[in-house]
Amino acid sequence: MLSEKMEKALNQQINAEMYSAYLYLSMASYFESVDLEGCARWMKAQTQEEMIHAMKIYDYVIERGGRVLLEGIKAPQQEWDSALAVFEHAYEHEQYVTSLINSLMNLSIEEKDHATQIFLQWFVSEQVEEEASASGVVQRLKLAGGDQGGGLFMVDKELGQRALPISMPAA
């Protein structure tokens, strides 16, 4: 059984993961508005990953006898100056989410909640991957000349190869 404090913290993380999905969907919309379909596809895949993360925590709270209480999700940013600015924002956001996961881990250690510590290990490892992925795109965009010329289109094409975690129905 989860403590009240842990249950509340996990509920807050569900909201944070859903906000992340909402933010990445906003980024996808931005990319579609500037005809960068590969970048949009990358962000749609990221959106799906964040919803999967939220549902993993949701299911864990239920499995441990807790109650999931959903709250409002704040509106995400909708405009950026460039593709590079979007991915820099994504990288900064992943660093923030890492800090949230680390805080959850610290709480589970403080409460001697070994089951939650084991559960959170997957998220700790996942955040290493999430930060590296976003940082890698930032670096590729910088190497390609940022938002100038053909380099951006090459990176866009590469990002369009990212597989979606959940297959999307055809339009």
What digits encode the pLDDT tens for the residues 38-56?
Answer: 999 999 999 999 999 999 9
- In angstroms, how far is CA 104 from the centroid of its own chain? 16
Instruction: Share the mean pLDDT of the chain.
Output: 94
Q: How many residues does the chain have?
A: 171
pLDDT at 82 over 60: yes
Least confident of 41-45, 60-64, 146-150: 146-150
pLDDT at 24 over 80: yes
Domains and CATH numbers, the chain: 4-159 (1.20.1260.10)
**Nearest partner of 53 among 97, 96, 93, judged by Cα:** 97
Residues 91-106, mean pLDDT to the nearest whole number: 98
Per-residue pLDDT at 97: 98
Distance separating alpha carbons of residues 10 and 58, to the nearest angstrom = 8
